């Protein structure tokens, strides 16, 4: 059976042309998004995003006003069974009531107790439904720049057993006991392949975290993986995200890698005072466009 999947990659910026406007509901729609690269049952591991008209530009980019709009994240795990994400106007789709209040609305499917993969293996054992929902939220937050809504203000809802799943989703948060189920294997695999390629070519390898989009627990987990894989550097930021380096994050990265990987701080470092604080926190390399200014201030201090 052919399954509709709108996203060719895990980067939703590649899906700008897939947004469409539904006249009946007066909303923008991005439907049938696969939220994990390692989908056992793709039919049920998809989601859809619906946004009020004012939240999207015609070119498929979110408006600035949408950045303050809360997001309603609805799971569809009734009876702890595998469930598709509801389609607009379909059974158990409550898009209209949320959209009428100006909220961004996400419907999310997940695996359940009877899920079977392509090899005929059961893949729905608890806590897999919760893991799928966590994966979907991480995927959406990873893509926040391409999506409408404030992804730091997400309201989890569900019906039947979905209510319990909503409560679990909120209570467990970033609890590390779920890490082994999530997509850290993919992160490790990608990091290992990048490091191996760089080593083969004799190139220095740097892994950029983009900490402004990560929780502290996620920063630690990435640094733990880096400590084992051992790229030459881990870096705080690209400089193109919503925030740059912080002393707290640099120290967190430095303490976690335990000297196995060097730390580079970048983003928002424009004076010697800030630069020195980053170095004292553990950074051995600084990325900045204000190098001459920092050097001049350093020389003044030394004199």
pLDDT digits (tens, 9 = 90+) for 95-120: 999 999 999 999 999 999 899 988 88
pLDDT at 254: 97
Whether CATH 3.40.50.300 fits 12-181: no
Q: Where in the chain is the domain with CATH 3.40.50.1820?
A: 12-181
- Kindly give the parts of the chain with pLDDT less than 70: 1, 179-183, 185, 303
- Sheet harboring 20-22: ordered strands across? 20-22, 27-34, 46-52, 104-108, 71-75, 154-158
Cα separation, 232 vs 260, whole angstroms: 9
Cα separation, 290 vs 266, whole angstroms: 11
Question: Percent of the chain having pLDDT more than 70?
Answer: 97
Q: Which CATH class is domain 190-302?
A: alpha beta
- CB-side neighbour CA atoms (13 Å) of 149: 28
pLDDT at 160: 84
Cα separation, 72 vs 180, whole angstroms: 27
In this prediction the pTM is 0.64
């Amino acid at each position: 059976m052919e399954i509709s999947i709108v996203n060719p990659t895990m980067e939703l910026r590649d899906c700008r042309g897939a947004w469409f406007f539904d006249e009946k509901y007066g909303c923008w729609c991005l439907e049938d998004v696969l939220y994990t690269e390692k989908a056992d049952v793709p039919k049920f591991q998809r989601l859809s995003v619906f946004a009020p008209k004012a939240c999207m530009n015609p070119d498929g980019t979110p408006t600035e006003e949408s950045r303050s709009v809360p997001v309603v994240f609805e799971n569809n795990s009734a009876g702890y069974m595998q469930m598709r994400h509801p389609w607009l106007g379909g059974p158990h789709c409550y898009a209209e009531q949320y959209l009428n209040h100006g909220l961004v609305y996400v419907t999310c499917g997940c695996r359940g107790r009877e899920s079977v993969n392509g090899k005929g293996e059961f893949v729905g054992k608890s806590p897999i439904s919760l893991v799928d929902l966590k994966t979907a939220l991480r995927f959406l937050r990873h893509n926040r720049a391409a999506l409408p809504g404030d992804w730091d203000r997400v309201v989890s809802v569900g019906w039947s057993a979905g209510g319990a799943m909503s409560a679990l989703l909120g209570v467990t948060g970033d609890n590390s006991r779920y890490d082994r189920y999530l997509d850290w294997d993919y992160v490790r695999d990608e990091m290992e392949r990048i490091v191996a390629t760089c080593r083969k070519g004799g190139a220095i390898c740097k892994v950029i975290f983009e900490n402004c989009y990560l929780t502290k627990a996620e920063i630690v987990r990435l640094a733990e993986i880096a400590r084992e894989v051992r790229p030459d550097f881990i870096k705080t930021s690209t400089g193109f995200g919503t925030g740059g380096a912080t002393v707290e994050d640099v120290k967190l990265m430095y303490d976690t890698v335990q000297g196995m990987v060097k730390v580079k701080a970048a983003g928002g470092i424009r004076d010697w005072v800030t630069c020195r604080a980053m170095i004292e926190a553990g950074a051995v390399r600084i990325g900045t466009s204000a190098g001459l200014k920092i050097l001049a201030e350093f020389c003044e201090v030394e004199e």
